Chains A and B, each alone.
Chain A
């Protein structure tokens, strides 16, 4: 029982990263119809940025937590204005290809400067202990990650469903032409929303720095798991993406807990679930059916 709770907790922490990344992907996709391949590379830049800020500038984790998401959001907005917007009127696959190319560039740029070995990054002093949650002790840093991730997901939900800005973004997401016709300046929101989604990936990266190996390829395989997660949740659905992220994290941790022989299953599980979802509900668990093809 103790073990089970521990694995559940670890699964939620792992799911928190998937959920934050899936949330960013879903927000961007909703507004721009762009699937951002570079999301994993941005996550890596967030973690690497935290490392570089600490070792070369001397800024602590807390500064990194503030600076990196903002800096990456600005970077994302520049990329949207300069590159993504040029392809906005074409088939969305072109922007997928564009962000794929950017991924190669970003990864190799970091690799050429810092090599491929992993860099150590310590959690801040204050979070290095453990927290007593009822009968169990959990590492304080992981509790912190979980709290931040849940807070961000709830915050985004509140923003989208309860504020005027959110209403505009949802209207623009669901019926861009109609919203424009009603006098809403849809184009105005495209760049900030893209930047916001990128910022979320950066945030996930900074949070990951103390518990995942920081190296140029840390986002390379993760992004594909996140793709499977959003296919499971339904890419158009923000709630579905977040829920699927946490759920996959949980199930992965439980399977991993069964022992070493199950390592492969916990790795491929997300893809098997995706296969099942494609058979049963091709649009994803919370997605709406696209136009038949």
Chain B
């Protein structure tokens, strides 16, 4: 069963070409890459002027989350269906740190992301014992466990009421206006994205891709496969935690939804629609999905799952490269 062309990212067959984003390194001309990066910076700076600033903040948070999921799915060959555990744990920890300790919001977000990493150590240790579909099921199950615990631990999480009035503090600056908060949050988002970009384009990232493409060979070459997977898992949890923490500060509210499996699922949807195994893909996907959901709820449409589910099913059936995967593929062929 030779399916090398179709499986980009998800446990590609041995000898498969690297994912579109990476292969662009040699074929897509340098000027084009810099132009794209420059355009992305401009779009990021302009975003809250063209959209509701709240939506812009959401896009930034989900972009971090989706990039974190894609680090595992696209670059390590592990599909985590339980990343809401890290996004949500960080959201709660960030909210609690901001409420009880009165930390400035970047410090609270950092506390949250570190809490996510602490949770990721045992979960990742157990989950990387399995691969493929089992990895997805195991991460999903552990995330559900975290959800139940948060639901019962009312003295800390306030149960179904959620954490309310999360402060948004930064050395006395007034950030109640979403427009200014977006720009205050942007460095954290950029930092998280840079972290993942740096990791993927490092020797460490090359080993991850080798593990994705052929774990047996990577092990034969002497790489401790489990340890690399766990490291990727922790980095991914940290990035998802940055997103979740910002999400808590951005909404000034944390509800149990942040831990539910539908949240994990949404991150996977974003990655698939944007393009598995690309770094721009999850960002583009986050913008598209957040925008679509905002538009649907603005139009008074309640059953959002009907629309996103249908789009997602179509994408899985006939558009597996995703938006950015398709663009990258096209650029490579043209180049």
A residues apposed to B, CB below 8 Å: 35, 83, 86-87, 89-94, 96-98, 100-105, 107-109, 111-112, 220-221, 224-225, 227-228, 230-231, 235, 263-264, 267-268, 270-272, 274-275, 278-279, 282, 290, 292-293
Contact B225 A90 (CB under 8 A): no
- Please tell me the size bucket of the interface on B: 35 or more
Determine the main DSSP class of A at the interface with B. Answer: helix
B residues with CB within 8 A of A: 1, 3, 6-7, 10-11, 79, 122, 126-127, 129-134, 136-138, 140-142, 144-145, 148-149, 152, 215-216, 219, 225, 261, 265, 268-269, 272, 302-306, 308-310, 312-313, 316-317, 320
* Bound form: Cα–Cα A228–B127 in Å: 12
* B149:A264 contact, CB within 8 angstroms: yes
Please report the C-alpha to C-alpha distance between residue A225 and residue B131 in the assembled complex, in whole angstroms: 19
Given A86-B317, A89-B3, A93-B79, A279:B133 Cβ within 8 A: no
Asked if B133 and A93 sit within 8 Å, CB to CB, the answer is yes
- Once A and B bind, how many residue pairs between them come within 8 Å at the CB atom? 133
Whether B132 and A92, one on each chain, are in contact in the complex, defined by CB atoms closer than 8 angstroms, is yes
Given contact pairs A96-B136, A112-B306, A267-B152, A224 touches B144 in the complex (Cβ within 8 A): yes
Which A residues are CB-close (under 8 A) to B269?
101
Instruction: Known A93-B79, A98-B316, A101-B316; judge A271-B142 contact (CB<8 A).
Output: yes
Given contacts A87-B317, A228-B141, A293-B215, contact A96 B133 (CB under 8 A): yes
Are A227 and B137 in touch, CB under 8 angstroms?
yes
In angstroms, Cα B309 to Cα A74, docked, is: 22
Question: For B302, what are the chain A residues with a Cβ–Cβ distance below 8 Å?
Answer: 112
Shortest CB-to-CB span from A94 to chain B, Å, is 6
Q: Verify B11–A104 contact, CB threshold 8 A.
A: no
- Name the one of B126, B131, B305, B306 contacting A293, with C-beta atoms under 8 angstroms: B131
Give me 22 A-to-B residue pairs in the complex whose CB atoms sit less than 8 angstroms apart, sorted by A's number: A83-B317, A89-B1, A91-B7, A91-B132, A92-B133, A98-B313, A100-B265, A100-B268, A101-B309, A101-B312, A101-B316, A103-B309, A108-B305, A227-B140, A231-B134, A264-B148, A267-B152, A268-B149, A274-B138, A282-B129, A282-B130, A292-B219
